Amino acid sequence: MNKQNPIIKKIKKFVKNFFRKRNIEFYRRAKKKRILEAISLTKPFDLGHSLIRVGGEGDGGYLLPDILDGIKYCFSPGVGLISEFESQLKNREIKSFLADFTVDAPAAEDLFKFEKKFIKSYNSENSITFDDWIMNSVNPTDKDFLVQMDIEGSEYEVINSISNFNLEKIKIMVIEFHHLQFLTNDVFLENYISVFRKLKNYFEINHIHPNNCCGVTIVDDLVIPNVLEVTFLNKKYVQRKNQIIHLPNSLDKKNVEKKKDIKLSYHWF
Protein backbone atom coordinates (compact mmCIF):
# COMPACT_ATOMS: atom_id res chain seq x y z
CA MET A 1 0.00 0.00 0.00
CA ASN A 2 1.40 3.37 -0.98
CA LYS A 3 1.54 5.82 1.87
CA GLN A 4 0.63 9.41 1.12
CA ASN A 5 3.43 11.94 1.35
CA PRO A 6 3.07 13.50 4.87
CA ILE A 7 3.58 17.01 3.49
CA ILE A 8 0.81 16.50 0.88
CA LYS A 9 -1.38 15.06 3.62
CA LYS A 10 -0.90 18.13 5.81
CA ILE A 11 -1.62 20.48 2.90
CA LYS A 12 -4.84 18.63 2.08
CA LYS A 13 -5.93 18.75 5.72
CA PHE A 14 -5.19 22.47 5.92
CA VAL A 15 -7.13 23.22 2.71
CA LYS A 16 -10.08 21.09 3.84
CA ASN A 17 -10.26 22.79 7.23
CA PHE A 18 -9.85 26.22 5.63
CA PHE A 19 -12.90 25.74 3.43
CA ARG A 20 -14.92 23.83 6.03
CA LYS A 21 -14.74 26.82 8.37
CA ARG A 22 -16.34 28.78 5.55
CA ASN A 23 -19.13 26.20 5.12
CA ILE A 24 -17.64 24.84 1.87
CA GLU A 25 -17.34 21.08 1.39
CA PHE A 26 -15.71 18.95 -1.31
CA TYR A 27 -16.73 15.58 -2.70
CA ARG A 28 -15.26 13.13 -5.17
CA ARG A 29 -16.69 13.60 -8.65
CA ALA A 30 -18.92 10.81 -9.97
CA LYS A 31 -17.47 8.71 -12.75
CA LYS A 32 -18.07 10.12 -16.22
CA LYS A 33 -19.39 6.75 -17.41
CA ARG A 34 -22.16 6.94 -14.82
CA ILE A 35 -22.97 10.55 -15.72
CA LEU A 36 -23.28 9.51 -19.37
CA GLU A 37 -25.66 6.75 -18.30
CA ALA A 38 -27.86 9.36 -16.63
CA ILE A 39 -27.78 11.53 -19.74
CA SER A 40 -28.70 8.55 -21.94
CA LEU A 41 -31.88 8.11 -19.91
CA THR A 42 -32.82 11.68 -20.82
CA LYS A 43 -32.50 11.34 -24.61
CA PRO A 44 -35.60 12.38 -26.60
CA PHE A 45 -37.05 10.54 -29.58
CA ASP A 46 -39.38 11.20 -32.47
CA LEU A 47 -42.46 9.36 -31.22
CA GLY A 48 -44.61 9.86 -34.30
CA HIS A 49 -46.42 13.07 -33.37
CA SER A 50 -45.70 16.66 -34.40
CA LEU A 51 -44.94 19.04 -31.56
CA ILE A 52 -46.84 22.21 -30.63
CA ARG A 53 -45.90 25.02 -28.29
CA VAL A 54 -48.23 25.69 -25.37
CA GLY A 55 -47.66 28.68 -23.10
CA GLY A 56 -45.73 31.90 -23.55
CA GLU A 57 -42.93 32.71 -25.97
CA GLY A 58 -40.37 32.67 -23.16
CA ASP A 59 -40.40 31.00 -19.77
CA GLY A 60 -43.54 28.96 -19.15
CA GLY A 61 -43.89 27.77 -22.75
CA TYR A 62 -43.38 24.07 -23.48
CA LEU A 63 -43.37 21.73 -26.47
CA LEU A 64 -45.97 18.97 -26.32
CA PRO A 65 -47.02 16.24 -28.76
CA ASP A 66 -50.05 17.42 -30.72
CA ILE A 67 -52.47 14.90 -29.26
CA LEU A 68 -54.23 16.99 -26.60
CA ASP A 69 -57.66 15.83 -27.79
CA GLY A 70 -59.27 13.71 -25.14
CA ILE A 71 -57.41 15.38 -22.27
CA LYS A 72 -59.87 16.90 -19.80
CA TYR A 73 -57.58 17.84 -16.92
CA CYS A 74 -54.12 19.27 -16.31
CA PHE A 75 -52.38 19.04 -12.95
CA SER A 76 -49.86 21.83 -12.56
CA PRO A 77 -47.86 21.95 -9.30
CA GLY A 78 -45.83 25.13 -8.98
CA VAL A 79 -47.43 28.50 -9.76
CA GLY A 80 -45.54 31.30 -11.48
CA LEU A 81 -46.30 34.95 -12.13
CA ILE A 82 -48.20 34.12 -15.31
CA SER A 83 -50.62 31.35 -16.24
CA GLU A 84 -50.41 31.50 -20.02
CA PHE A 85 -49.92 27.74 -20.24
CA GLU A 86 -53.13 27.02 -18.35
CA SER A 87 -55.01 29.80 -20.15
CA GLN A 88 -54.23 28.24 -23.53
CA LEU A 89 -55.33 24.86 -22.21
CA LYS A 90 -58.64 26.40 -21.14
CA ASN A 91 -59.16 27.47 -24.76
CA ARG A 92 -58.91 23.74 -25.57
CA GLU A 93 -61.47 22.95 -22.84
CA ILE A 94 -58.83 21.47 -20.55
CA LYS A 95 -59.35 22.36 -16.90
CA SER A 96 -56.25 22.98 -14.80
CA PHE A 97 -55.68 22.17 -11.16
CA LEU A 98 -52.88 24.27 -9.64
CA ALA A 99 -51.10 23.92 -6.30
CA ASP A 100 -48.45 26.00 -4.55
CA PHE A 101 -48.17 27.09 -0.92
CA THR A 102 -45.86 30.01 -1.74
CA VAL A 103 -48.60 32.07 -3.45
CA ASP A 104 -52.10 33.08 -2.38
CA ALA A 105 -53.60 32.66 -5.83
CA PRO A 106 -52.48 32.20 -9.45
CA ALA A 107 -52.82 34.81 -12.15
CA ALA A 108 -56.34 34.81 -13.62
CA GLU A 109 -57.44 32.75 -10.63
CA ASP A 110 -61.01 32.49 -11.90
CA LEU A 111 -59.84 30.16 -14.69
CA PHE A 112 -58.45 27.36 -12.53
CA LYS A 113 -58.97 25.38 -9.34
CA PHE A 114 -56.20 26.34 -6.94
CA GLU A 115 -54.90 24.51 -3.87
CA LYS A 116 -52.70 26.54 -1.50
CA LYS A 117 -50.44 23.63 -0.65
CA PHE A 118 -47.07 22.22 -1.59
CA ILE A 119 -47.13 18.96 -3.54
CA LYS A 120 -44.88 16.69 -1.51
CA SER A 121 -44.36 13.02 -0.64
CA TYR A 122 -46.42 13.41 2.55
CA ASN A 123 -49.54 15.15 3.82
CA SER A 124 -49.41 17.97 6.33
CA GLU A 125 -51.16 21.24 7.07
CA ASN A 126 -49.27 22.89 4.18
CA SER A 127 -48.72 19.94 1.83
CA ILE A 128 -50.48 17.13 0.01
CA THR A 129 -49.25 14.14 -1.96
CA PHE A 130 -49.72 14.02 -5.71
CA ASP A 131 -51.88 10.90 -5.39
CA ASP A 132 -54.22 12.49 -2.85
CA TRP A 133 -54.39 15.68 -4.92
CA ILE A 134 -55.65 13.68 -7.90
CA MET A 135 -58.03 11.63 -5.77
CA ASN A 136 -59.54 14.80 -4.25
CA SER A 137 -59.86 16.56 -7.63
CA VAL A 138 -61.34 14.13 -10.16
CA ASN A 139 -63.27 10.89 -10.42
CA PRO A 140 -61.36 7.63 -9.93
CA THR A 141 -62.24 6.56 -13.48
CA ASP A 142 -60.79 9.71 -15.09
CA LYS A 143 -57.55 9.25 -16.99
CA ASP A 144 -55.34 10.70 -19.76
CA PHE A 145 -54.16 13.62 -17.64
CA LEU A 146 -51.67 16.29 -18.63
CA VAL A 147 -49.08 17.17 -15.98
CA GLN A 148 -46.90 20.29 -16.00
CA MET A 149 -44.49 20.35 -13.05
CA ASP A 150 -42.12 23.15 -12.06
CA ILE A 151 -41.46 22.89 -8.33
CA GLU A 152 -37.85 24.07 -8.02
CA GLY A 153 -36.14 20.79 -7.15
CA SER A 154 -38.94 18.97 -5.31
CA GLU A 155 -39.79 17.08 -8.51
CA TYR A 156 -37.51 14.19 -7.55
CA GLU A 157 -39.25 13.64 -4.23
CA VAL A 158 -42.71 13.98 -5.77
CA ILE A 159 -42.07 11.65 -8.72
CA ASN A 160 -40.71 8.96 -6.42
CA SER A 161 -43.93 9.18 -4.38
CA ILE A 162 -46.44 8.95 -7.27
CA SER A 163 -48.14 5.57 -7.46
CA ASN A 164 -47.82 3.39 -10.54
CA PHE A 165 -51.62 3.50 -10.74
CA ASN A 166 -51.57 7.26 -11.31
CA LEU A 167 -48.51 7.26 -13.54
CA GLU A 168 -50.37 4.97 -15.91
CA LYS A 169 -53.22 7.53 -16.08
CA ILE A 170 -50.98 10.38 -17.28
CA LYS A 171 -50.93 10.89 -21.05
CA ILE A 172 -48.39 13.73 -21.34
CA MET A 173 -46.07 15.12 -18.73
CA VAL A 174 -43.65 18.05 -18.93
CA ILE A 175 -41.28 18.54 -16.01
CA GLU A 176 -38.55 21.05 -15.24
CA PHE A 177 -35.65 19.17 -13.66
CA HIS A 178 -33.47 21.35 -11.47
CA HIS A 179 -29.97 21.14 -9.96
CA LEU A 180 -28.40 19.06 -12.74
CA GLN A 181 -25.05 20.60 -11.77
CA PHE A 182 -25.10 17.94 -9.04
CA LEU A 183 -25.02 15.08 -11.53
CA THR A 184 -21.34 15.06 -10.59
CA ASN A 185 -22.36 14.04 -7.05
CA ASP A 186 -22.92 10.31 -6.57
CA VAL A 187 -25.89 10.73 -4.22
CA PHE A 188 -27.80 13.11 -6.51
CA LEU A 189 -26.79 11.12 -9.59
CA GLU A 190 -28.24 7.87 -8.27
CA ASN A 191 -31.49 9.62 -7.32
CA TYR A 192 -31.70 11.16 -10.80
CA ILE A 193 -31.17 7.78 -12.47
CA SER A 194 -33.76 6.17 -10.20
CA VAL A 195 -36.37 8.82 -11.06
CA PHE A 196 -35.86 8.45 -14.81
CA ARG A 197 -35.90 4.66 -14.67
CA LYS A 198 -39.20 4.81 -12.82
CA LEU A 199 -40.72 7.21 -15.37
CA LYS A 200 -39.44 5.20 -18.32
CA ASN A 201 -41.50 2.21 -17.19
CA TYR A 202 -44.50 4.17 -18.47
CA PHE A 203 -43.18 6.98 -20.69
CA GLU A 204 -40.89 7.77 -23.58
CA ILE A 205 -39.17 11.14 -23.83
CA ASN A 206 -40.48 13.26 -26.70
CA HIS A 207 -38.51 16.49 -26.24
CA ILE A 208 -35.90 18.19 -24.07
CA HIS A 209 -35.00 21.86 -23.79
CA PRO A 210 -32.32 23.48 -21.60
CA ASN A 211 -33.64 26.38 -19.55
CA ASN A 212 -31.03 29.15 -19.90
CA CYS A 213 -32.00 30.70 -16.56
CA CYS A 214 -29.26 29.10 -14.55
CA GLY A 215 -26.24 28.36 -16.73
CA VAL A 216 -24.37 25.13 -17.34
CA THR A 217 -21.88 22.79 -15.70
CA ILE A 218 -18.91 21.55 -17.73
CA VAL A 219 -17.57 18.04 -17.16
CA ASP A 220 -14.72 17.36 -19.61
CA ASP A 221 -16.52 17.58 -22.98
CA LEU A 222 -20.01 17.34 -21.44
CA VAL A 223 -22.17 20.46 -21.27
CA ILE A 224 -24.82 19.93 -18.61
CA PRO A 225 -27.64 22.50 -18.36
CA ASN A 226 -28.40 23.16 -14.71
CA VAL A 227 -32.15 23.19 -15.49
CA LEU A 228 -33.72 20.97 -18.15
CA GLU A 229 -37.32 20.82 -19.43
CA VAL A 230 -38.39 17.29 -20.38
CA THR A 231 -41.58 16.25 -22.21
CA PHE A 232 -42.80 12.69 -21.63
CA LEU A 233 -45.41 10.73 -23.60
CA ASN A 234 -47.19 7.68 -22.25
CA LYS A 235 -46.01 4.57 -24.11
CA LYS A 236 -49.61 3.77 -25.07
CA TYR A 237 -49.51 6.71 -27.50
CA VAL A 238 -46.10 6.12 -29.06
CA GLN A 239 -46.40 5.49 -32.82
CA ARG A 240 -42.69 5.07 -33.51
CA LYS A 241 -39.35 5.68 -31.80
CA ASN A 242 -36.81 7.31 -34.09
CA GLN A 243 -33.63 9.12 -33.22
CA ILE A 244 -33.71 12.91 -33.14
CA ILE A 245 -30.77 14.28 -35.11
CA HIS A 246 -31.12 17.97 -34.37
CA LEU A 247 -31.90 20.18 -31.38
CA PRO A 248 -33.22 22.75 -30.62
CA ASN A 249 -36.60 22.37 -32.23
CA SER A 250 -37.71 25.30 -34.39
CA LEU A 251 -40.45 26.01 -31.81
CA ASP A 252 -38.02 26.27 -28.90
CA LYS A 253 -37.47 29.73 -27.39
CA LYS A 254 -35.03 31.08 -24.83
CA ASN A 255 -36.54 31.14 -21.36
CA VAL A 256 -34.67 34.31 -20.47
CA GLU A 257 -34.27 36.59 -23.47
CA LYS A 258 -31.30 38.56 -22.08
CA LYS A 259 -29.24 35.47 -21.27
CA LYS A 260 -27.16 33.38 -23.64
CA ASP A 261 -28.90 30.36 -25.10
CA ILE A 262 -27.67 26.86 -24.22
CA LYS A 263 -26.75 24.47 -27.02
CA LEU A 264 -26.92 20.82 -26.06
CA SER A 265 -23.98 18.64 -27.08
CA TYR A 266 -24.46 15.44 -29.08
CA HIS A 267 -24.47 13.40 -25.86
CA TRP A 268 -28.06 14.49 -25.21
CA PHE A 269 -29.72 13.28 -28.43
pLDDT 10s per residue in the chain (269 long)?
456 677 877 777 777 777 777 777 667 788 999 999 999 999 999 999 999 999 988 888 999 999 999 999 999 998 866 678 998 999 999 999 999 998 887 665 555 789 999 999 999 999 999 999 999 999 999 999 999 999 989 999 999 999 999 999 999 999 999 999 999 999 999 999 999 999 999 999 999 999 999 999 999 889 999 999 999 999 999 999 999 999 999 999 999 999 999 999 899 99
Q: How far apart are CA 66 and CA 64, in angstroms?
A: 6
Q: Dump the DSSP string for 174-213.
A: EEEE--GGGGGSHHHHHHHHHHHHHHTTTEEEEEEEE-TT
**Contact, 63 vs 251, CB < 8 A?**
yes
State the pLDDT at residue 4. Answer: 65
Angle at 181 between CA 179 and CA 183, to 5 degrees: 95
Q: What is the pTM of this model?
A: 0.90
State the pLDDT at residue 78. Answer: 85
Name the burial class of residue 95, with classes exposed (0-12), middle (13-18) and buried (19+) by CB atoms within 10 angstroms of its CB.
middle
State the pLDDT at residue 7. Answer: 80
